[in-house]
């Protein structure tokens, strides 16, 4: 009789296969909640999702799992199995660091705060928000403290570990510290230069049906597989579902098509990453997307690196004319000017790629001391005002709605995520620099409307690698170096000041 | 310290609450599979649903559950709790009667047979179908045998018990035996009478958008709550989801709007039953719909009793003219003749309410001896031909596609369900007879376009009762008697021969 040589490891893979399958139902229900669910279904859906979350948490914290992980570590595993075990161990440590009662209290406080925030934001009600937010913050600090002890990391680093394994505040400080040096000056120079350019604005309305067809066409051009995914509508666009069935959402406004279109291009980057994760290992942690910064690097590679490239814009221009009828704004040159227009504004999600990092630096410099207990929730508005003036040249005083109340992250107790957005933008620039080295005629091919070199490079170096390597190792294998923000600065200078 | 007086019962309610919440995710994923899922999501969805089915089966067959049921039976329960315990015990007995290996083999054989059937049906390939169907039948017989031993019921009765608790072959024999006596003669008399009527057919095409808006408007008229449910499109219309979030589907054909519209009216009957189940007990078996015959009695109360009523047709007529433009076919009298046209046909789901029972009697008289081992799968076509000639006056020889291959039930191993359709039609007639006694001016009010008396009666007597009573007791409380098919015969005579 032939015994398996890796019984403990095999047991782990069965458990994670089950977690993956049940997670499929969880992901689908989350997508449906945003895209389809009628209002009266809300309470039942919340209960069903909470039940599933508790079930998955129990499976992840089964005492037998710890022993299997221990024993698997002594088995003869190949390189891929070792990578999978590394990711399983990481998942186990994160799941087991928090007692279930804390997970529940945090979930309840976040639900309460987020629900009230939906009306407090339009009402500009900072004081009302503060009442709920204090509890959210207290529980996030408790979470950070527990994770810190369990993982042996500083408190804010321990929160970032949930989204970007291995990322530390020291790295973010260094990277964002550099950005702080050159970004305000760069924004000024770009603004001066663009002040002399004339840009013709598109004239609406833009019928929603035509917008939808346009989005589907552009997504198709970008290689999204509609046999393994869908595009639907939700209030807040996102990319959900599972790798075999990716559910992207967008939202349409009759007076503006560009926001929806480029938002959809952004989600398509997430979507193609998911659709092209390694199929042979599917269901195991090693087959999942590497991290949130890497995920954002894909969405921003699509939306910013490719989406803002003159070659893409030229490919887009005739599609716009087909969708909405010809108009002067759709001339490729004008369209490119329109799509690369830089203007500091209050709202992060509406920001261009040049001013976007300022929004992230601002939030990072507030949420990190907040988690560390250096400042309190009540200190946020004054800090926000000072940093918005310094980084973006904006006066935000008294405008909580478009200031610290604008994002869903803090009401939901989500701290440590914001840096991933800007690191993603930096990685995306680093990938394109590597692509240009690998394919010297890359820009010529993009100008000719041939985007295949981008997709091929990303598939080979990022998508197909899943969680096989750490983020640093993946970046080195893909581009020859770990995160190097110089590529991002060079990209902005090349696109906006050359 | 106050101890709960019903600890075992309380433990059971917590378990069933969990089953209900996880069942929510299962129901949603099932709906999405039919309404949204892209083709490449199929394998992952099947695995996820199988994982969930296995999980729920394990929860239902936990040994501790048997002990809790035993102990709860000795606790001081009120009438509602006793009814809930009765339903829990029934669920437990059905779940525990079958070993998991049989459940899995049955599921696999059914999947294989159903999948092949999708192409075998259009190809009229009875021989190919038979290859897979023999295994499906063998496993259904094994299931019937196991259930029979566990429940102390005859084998076919044990299968019906899964859909209509308490229903026996003896009752079905008696009821269908009567139908056999009068139905062929009634069909002939109606056909003779209608032969003299001129009916103008509607002229298409009927744009799908207009059909969709029309369906939504009619569903709204019928009281469906769109804040607690949706209407979407799927190949085979059904009503799924959960009581708080009912997901109905339909399908549209540009050359015919009536099939889709009346199919949607049918699903709305199911949908309103679900939406109006007792909210206070939601999550417990006692709050679920009573049975499948009762469920069909609601869909047929909407589609046939109300939908074929001249008052409903008169309300519908102007909506059709609005949706598609005025045409002679939409005159109320003509529309009513069109919607009550009787014509024996091959396809059950397209049948009118007069010939429909013949389709069911035919299937019952084949599937019962099939389960009992009196006949074999290869005997089906000859029996089908003989019974179709006798009951419907149709020649079905060699036409397997529109004969025994037409329904999904047998490929899926679903035996014992068919009788529920006709018992549902009979119950629906019985409810309307009771309504007419309670509201003597019911027809006048329906003619005036006021459908509220129907909804109020169904809500009070059926929807709000959930599983509080057995089917017989519910029927007696609602209408003064257990199932009495005389009301159905009287209804057909009044509508088609008066």
- Partners of B47 on chain A (C-beta within 8 Å) are 21, 24
pLDDT digits (tens, 9 = 90+) for B450-471: 999 999 999 999 999 999 999 9
Q: Minimal CA–CA distance to A321: which of A257, A375, A378? A: A257
In a domain, B147, yes or no: no
Last-in-domain residue among B97, B118, B147: B97
Question: Looking at residue B378, what DSSP letter applies?
Answer: G
In a domain, B130, yes or no: no
C-alpha torsion A350→A351→A357→A358, nearest 10: -100
Cβ <8 Å between A28 and B26:
no
- Partners of B21 on chain A (C-beta within 8 Å) are 44, 47-48, 50-52
Whether residue A184 is found in the same domain as residue A104: no
- Partners of B45 on chain A (C-beta within 8 Å) are 24, 245
**For position B391, what pLDDT does the model report?**
95
> Is the CB of residue B349 less than 8 Å from the CB of residue B402?
no
Strands B239-242 and B229-233 come out as: unpaired
**For position A153, what pLDDT does the model report?**
97
Whether residue B343 is found in the same domain as residue B266: yes
**For position A403, what pLDDT does the model report?**
97
Q: Which residues of B touch A (CB under 8 A)?
A: 18, 21-22, 24-26, 28-29, 32, 36-41, 43-45, 47-52, 55, 225-230, 242-245
Give me the half-sphere count of Cα atoms (radius 13 Å) on the Cβ side of residue A197.
Answer: 19
Residues of B identified as active-site: 267
What is the nearest CA distance from B170 to chain A, expressed in angstroms? Answer: 41
Query: Which structural domain, as residue segments, surrounds residue B86?
Result: 1-97
| A-chain residue closest to B36, CA distance | A230
Test mutation, B28, B49, B247, B249, chain A, max A CBs within 10 A: B28
Of B38, B47, B229, Cβ closest to residue A21: B47
Last-in-domain residue among B97, B119, B147: B97
Cβ <8 Å between A38 and B228:
yes
In a domain, B187, yes or no: yes
Backbone angles phi, psi at A256, to 5 degrees: -155, 125
For the segment B55-64, the average pLDDT, to the nearest whole number, is: 94
Least confident of A106-110, B73-77, B129-133, B159-163: A106-110
> Is the CB of residue B408 less than 8 Å from the CB of residue B101?
no
Last-in-domain residue among A119, A153, A187: A153
Omega into A205 within 30° of 0, i.e. cis? yes
**For position B108, what pLDDT does the model report?**
86
In a domain, B119, yes or no: no
Test mutation, A14, A16, A18, A21, chain B, max B CBs within 10 A: A21
In a domain, A419, yes or no: yes
The span from the CA of B481 to the CA of B434, in Å, is 10
**For position A103, what pLDDT does the model report?**
87
| B-chain residue closest to A245, CA distance | B41
Give me the half-sphere count of Cα atoms (radius 13 Å) on the Cβ side of residue B16.
Answer: 25
Whether residue A220 is found in the same domain as residue A241: yes
Whether residue B237 is found in the same domain as residue B334: yes
In a domain, B151, yes or no: no
| B-chain residue closest to A229, CA distance | B38
Cβ <8 Å between B51 and A227:
no
Cβ <8 Å between A226 and B18:
no
Cβ <8 Å between B38 and A245:
yes
Residue A416 Ramachandran class (φ > 0 left, ψ -120 to 50 alpha, else beta): left
Of A22, A24, A37, Cβ closest to residue B245: A37
Cβ <8 Å between B29 and A25:
yes
Alpha carbon B188 to its chain centroid, in Å, reads 27
Cβ <8 Å between B25 and A26:
yes
Cβ <8 Å between B29 and A26:
no
What is the nearest CA distance from B8 to chain A, expressed in angstroms? Answer: 21
Whether residue A329 is found in the same domain as residue A200: yes
The span from the CA of A229 to the CA of A303, in Å, is 19
In a domain, A1, yes or no: no
Q: Minimal CA–CA distance to A20: which of A79, A84, A101, A71? A: A84
- Partners of B49 on chain A (C-beta within 8 Å) are 25
Q: Where are the beta strands (DSSP E) in B129-259?
A: 229-233, 239-242, 245-250
- Partners of A230 on chain B (C-beta within 8 Å) are 36, 38
Residue B446: both structure tokens together: 């329906």
Of B21, B51, B229, Cβ closest to residue A21: B51
Whether residue A148 is found in the same domain as residue A158: no
Whether residue B178 is found in the same domain as residue B63: no
The span from the CA of B111 to the CA of B139, in Å, is 13
Instruction: Say yes or no to pLDDT of B55 above 70.
Output: yes
pLDDT digits (tens, 9 = 90+) for B172-231: 999 999 999 999 999 999 999 999 999 999 999 999 999 999 999 999 999 999 999 999
Whether residue B270 is found in the same domain as residue B385: yes
Whether residue A141 is found in the same domain as residue A200: no
Cβ <8 Å between B25 and A52:
yes
For the entire predicted model, the pTM comes to 0.94
pLDDT digits (tens, 9 = 90+) for B82-123: 999 999 999 999 999 998 889 889 888 998 899 899 899 999
Q: Coil, strand, or helix at residue A125?
A: coil
Cβ <8 Å between A18 and B230:
no
Whether residue A23 is found in the same domain as residue A61: yes
Looking at this predicted complex, what is its ipTM? 0.93
Q: Minimal CA–CA distance to B94: which of B287, B285, B279? A: B285
Of the residues A87, A143, A164, A267, only one is catalytic, namely A267
For the segment B32-59, the average pLDDT, to the nearest whole number, is: 93
* C-alpha separations of B312 from A24, B221, B335, B444, B454 in Å: 44, 10, 11, 11, 12
- Per the annotation, the verdict on A267 as an active-site residue is yes
Of A22, A41, A51, Cβ closest to residue B244: A41
**For position A111, what pLDDT does the model report?**
86
Mean pLDDT for back-to-back runs of 10 residues, chain A (498 residues): 81 97 96 94 92 93 95 96 97 92 88 91 97 97 97 97 96 97 96 95 96 97 98 93 97 96 97 97 96 98 98 98 97 97 95 97 98 98 97 96 96 97 98 98 98 98 98 98 97 96
Question: Looking at residue B408, what DSSP letter applies?
Answer: S
| B-chain residue closest to A44, CA distance | B244
In a domain, A251, yes or no: yes
For the segment B460-483, the average pLDDT, to the nearest whole number, is: 98
pLDDT band for position B259 (50/70/90)?
A: very high
Whether residue B89 is found in the same domain as residue B164: no
Cβ contacts from A onto B, under 8 A:
100
Find the helix or strand (DSSP H, E) in which A167 lies: none
Cβ <8 Å between B244 and A21:
no
Cβ <8 Å between A228 and B40:
yes
Q: Which residues pair with B241 in a beta bridge?
A: B246
Q: What is the DSSP string of A282-332?
A: TTSGGGS---HHHHHHHHHIIIIIITTSHHHHHHHHHHHHHHH---GGGSH
For the segment B464-480, the average pLDDT, to the nearest whole number, is: 98
Reduced to 3 DSSP states, what percent helix, strand and coil does chain A have, rounded to the nearest 5?
70, 5, 30
- Partners of B55 on chain A (C-beta within 8 Å) are 22
What CATH number did the domain enclosing A315 receive?
Answer: 1.10.1370.30
Q: What is the DSSP string of B246-293?
A: EEEEE--BTTBSHHHHHHHHHHHHHHHHHHTS-GGGTTSGGGS---HH
| B-chain residue closest to A244, CA distance | B41
Instruction: Say yes or no to pLDDT of B483 above 70.
Output: yes
| B-chain residue closest to A36, CA distance | B230
Exposure of A249 by Cβ count < 10 A (0-12 exposed, 13-18 middle, 19+ buried)?
Answer: buried
Whether residue A172 is found in the same domain as residue A65: no
Instruction: Say yes or no to pLDDT of B3 above 80.
Output: no
Say which residue the tokens 């279930």 belong to. Answer: A100
Cβ <8 Å between A226 and B55:
no
Q: Could you give the number of structural domains in chain B?
A: 2
pLDDT digits (tens, 9 = 90+) for B136-173: 999 999 999 999 999 999 999 999 999 999 999 999 99
- Partners of B226 on chain A (C-beta within 8 Å) are 38
Instruction: Say yes or no to pLDDT of B2 above 70.
Output: no
**For position B107, what pLDDT does the model report?**
85
């Amino acid at each position: 009789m032939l015994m398996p040589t890796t019984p403990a490891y095999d047991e782990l893979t069965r458990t994670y296969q089950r977690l993956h399958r049940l997670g499929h139902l969880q992901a689908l229900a989350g997508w449906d909640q945003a895209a389809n669910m009628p209002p009266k279904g809300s309470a039942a859906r919340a209960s069903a999702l909470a039940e599933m979350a508790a079930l998955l948490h129990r499976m992840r914290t089964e005492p037998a799992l710890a022993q299997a992980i221990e024993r698997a570590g002594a088995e003869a595993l190949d390189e891929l199995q070792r990578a999978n075990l590394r990711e399983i161990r990481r998942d186990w440590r994160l799941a087991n660091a928090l007692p279930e009662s804390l997970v529940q209290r945090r979930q309840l406080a976040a639900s309460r705060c987020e629900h009230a925030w939906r009306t407090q934001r339009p009402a500009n009600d900072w004081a009302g928000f503060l009442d709920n937010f204090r509890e959210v913050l207290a529980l996030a600090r408790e979470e950070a403290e527990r994770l810190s002890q369990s993982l042996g990391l500083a408190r804010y680093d321990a929160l970032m570990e949930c989204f970007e394994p291995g990322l530390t505040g020291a790295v973010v400080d260094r990277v964002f510290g550099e950005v702080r040096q050159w970004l305000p000056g760069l924004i000024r120079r770009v603004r001066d230069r663009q002040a002399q350019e004339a840009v013709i604005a598109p004239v609406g309305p833009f019928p929603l049906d035509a917008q939808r067809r346009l989005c589907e066409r552009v997504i198709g051009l970008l290689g999204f597989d509609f046999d393994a995914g869908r595009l639907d509508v939700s209030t807040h666009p996102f990319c959900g579902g599972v790798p075999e069935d990716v559910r992207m959402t967008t939202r349409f406004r009759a007076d503006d098509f560009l926001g929806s279109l480029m938002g959809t291009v952004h989600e398509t980057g997430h979507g193609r990453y998911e659709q092209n994760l390694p199929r042979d290992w599917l269901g195991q942690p090693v087959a999942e997307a590497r991290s949130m910064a890497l995920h954002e690097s894909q969405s921003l590679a699509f939306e910013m690196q490719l989406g803002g490239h003159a070659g893409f814009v030229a490919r887009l221009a005739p599609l716009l004319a087909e969708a909405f009828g010809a108009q002067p704004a759709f001339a490729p040159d004008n369209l490119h000017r329109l799509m690369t227009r830089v203007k500091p504004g209050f709202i992060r999600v509406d920001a261009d790629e040049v001013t976007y990092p300022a929004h992230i630096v601002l939030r990072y410099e507030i949420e990190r001391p907040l988690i560390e207990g250096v400042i309190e929730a009540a200190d946020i508005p004054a800090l926000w005002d000072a940093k918005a003036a310094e980084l973006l040249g904006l006066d935000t005083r008294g405008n909580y709605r478009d200031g610290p109340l604008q994002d869903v992250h803090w009401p939901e107790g989500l701290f440590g995520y914001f840096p991933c957005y800007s690191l993603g933008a930096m990685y995306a620039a680093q990938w394109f620099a590597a692509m240009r080295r690998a394919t010297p005629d890359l820009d010529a091919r993009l100008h000719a409307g041939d985007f295949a070199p981008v997709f091929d490079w990303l598939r080979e170096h990022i998508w197909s690698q899943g969680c096989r390597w750490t983020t640093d190792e993946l970046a080195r294998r893909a581009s020859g170096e770990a995160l190097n923000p110089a590529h991002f600065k060079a990209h902005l200078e090349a696109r906006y000041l050359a």
